[in-house]
Structure 1
Amino acid sequence: MSQRDRALLCSLAAVSAGNIAWRRLAPARFAKWSCLTSVAMRCLTLGLGVAAYTMRAQLDEAGPPVGPPASTPLGITVEAVVVLVRLLFASLAPFMLLFHTTWHLRLGWSALAQAVLVGTTVRHARHVCGASSLSCPAVHAAVRRVYRGMQVAACLTPLPVWAALPDPSPEDQCTALVAFFQLAIGLLLPVLWQVLTEARFFQLHQRERRAAGLSPERGPEAAVYHFVWQATMEGMGLQATMLAWILLSTCWDQLSFLVRSTPVAAAP
């Protein structure tokens, strides 16, 4: 274990110990300010991006795949799936999703904490893709297939940018995939799910207030809930799915352009 890993584990242990001590010694104050500890825990769990270096070390230790590349359709498909799973693991996106569900927060705090968690990690996507198990030529073909599959899945982009551009380098393709998994699975999808879920309960809460003769709640979060409820046609699953698909498609389209390490030549 490197010194960076030890420092990360020690800092997390210190924060957890402080959280437990605060809860035991001052339960009233902890109940009042517990949201701040949850925000801190969610933001610091990946060490403000330090975990990306740990992931890079693990991927380097794994090394490039052994054996010749697949030649049969089934083998090519399995190879692409293996690389897809490896990219998901390398992006740390499943852990980001787990942290979102572990430390539940109100919408505003949740979006802020998740944005810090993802924002401090996504900038290391290219560093992660430089690992030997992702940058070797034997993996480039599988990464290209996953990249093109993502382009097909992002078919609801209103104004696609990538369609008019040449294919990026394998390193850029890997960086785009890792960064997209971090933003989509670590930030956009969990926050969208929380908004949709809470908007449904908020509408029930507003009806109860009206039935009790009370005025409806107002504020920034109430406005967000109302907007989402109207945009999804009162929580219709198909409408919510289509809106999420459009948002993710647009996110992928912009990322696939922004992560290019070489500038795109202007058209004559």
Structure 2
Amino acid sequence: MNNYRLLSVVVLCVVVTGCKPAATGSQAAPVAAAEPAPAAVSCQLKVGYESWEPYQFRGYDEQANGLDIDIVNAVAKAMPCELVFSYGNWQQLLNQFRQGELDVLLGASKTAAREEFALFSDPYRNEQFRLFVRKTDADKFSFDSVAQMVAAKHKVGVVSDYYYGEQVSALYADEQMRGQFVESAMSEQNLALLLDEQVDAMLEDSFVGTALLRRKGLTDEISEHQLTLPESPIYVMFSKQKVTPEQVGVFNQQLLQLKQSGQYQQLVGKYQG
């Protein structure tokens, strides 16, 4: 029995390992250095974006482009985090965000209502809305505020679910004033309403409106009005269902480093002038 057991052990050693004694001392074979494992992406975020040039838009290559896209890409790369972009209009994107189908929205204003379902980054840029009117009507509107304009029964085009600040929100909440605001799904539709004289003015971010008129070849027909709304900070909005406060904290740290390194200003410079 002992001889049989010993023979079995010998056979097993030959089959499995060869039972070759390990080399020692100067005979030891060099051990190859292990290849460093590639850095794993620690998260993946689905980002909604809309047609809002120069901040975010879908380019000729069907890819996400714009200042907001460049900034969030740079920050995500440093986190690191993989981004998957999804295109739509703001109302669609906001609904998908509330339902947990999107993790991130860009170019967002912070409101108490949105804080119920979203986390916000540190502000990463400012924006300022202003009126755009038909050039033939520019001299007719000497109003100092949107309140004066809608009180005079003029129609103003706005984008659904955009936040234009406290003044416009208060006017929209007033049932007597709400009918003076005409909602559209996107800025291009407001522009069409303005050209068709279905509204008397449209509210749009100054840079977005200028880019839109240039792209559509309408700089001779539509112009900026002197009436502007107060400048406000803009944030990246994260879904409370999908993103943790710790991840937002990491995003903020990398956003600060982006600004301190000078890379942020380089990205902004691409869209100035």
Structure showing the higher strand proportion among its residues? 2
Indicate the structure (1 or 2) with the bigger Cα radius of gyration.
Answer: 2
Structure showing the higher helix proportion among its residues? 1
TM-score (norm. length: structure 1): 0.21
TM-score (norm. length: structure 2): 0.21
